[in-house]
Amino acid sequence: MYRFTPLLLATAVTANAGDIDKPAALSALQESNSVLIDVRTEQEHAEGALPGAKRIETAELSERIGSVAPDKDAPIVLYCRSGRRSSAAQDLLQELGYSRVINAGAYDDLKTVVQYP
């Protein structure tokens, strides 16, 4: 389970599809059935990643998501380098019928607020 800095959790933002919503992402990661997906390249992932994240580049997502997240109602949290690829991945997963897809934005921003036990 992840722990987070309280200030970020207290900041609520209304998000539209594709928008970065870190508070919603951090809240979703508290759920035991959440799936964390890193849509960055292999090289970016090798430079650092959040523990437990599954790396699936956006181009491979439609082919591989079923094996990583078979429950279309489970929270799926996406991140990338800047938030742009995770936004595209969010749109794709929503088109595939996933109901709780959240764009968490940039890895560099997340690694500063996600604390590990």
CATH number at residue 89: 3.40.250.10
Q: Residue 61 belongs to what domain range?
A: 3-115
**Structure confidence by residue, pLDDT tens digits, 34-58:** 999 999 999 999 999 998 899 999 9
At residue 21, the pLDDT reads 94
Classified as helix, coil or strand, 52 is: coil
Cα 69–chain centre separation: 12
Amino acid at position 55, single letter: R
Question: Is residue 80 among the annotated active site residues?
Answer: yes
**Structure confidence by residue, pLDDT tens digits, 8-21:** 443 333 344 568 99
Catalytic residue chosen out of the listed positions 20, 25, 65, 80: 80
Nearest Cα to Cα of residue 93 among 82, 81, 102: 102
DSSP count for the chain of H helices, then E strands: 6, 6
**Structure confidence by residue, pLDDT tens digits, 59-83:** 999 999 999 999 999 999 999 999 9
- CA distance linking residue 8 with residue 113, whole number of Å: 8
At residue 8, the pLDDT reads 41
Q: Is the pTM of this model over 0.95?
A: no
Write out the H or E segment, with its range, that includes residue 36: strand 35-38
Q: How far is CA 13 from CA 1, 63, 96, 106, in A?
A: 23, 32, 25, 16
Say how many domains are in the chain: 1
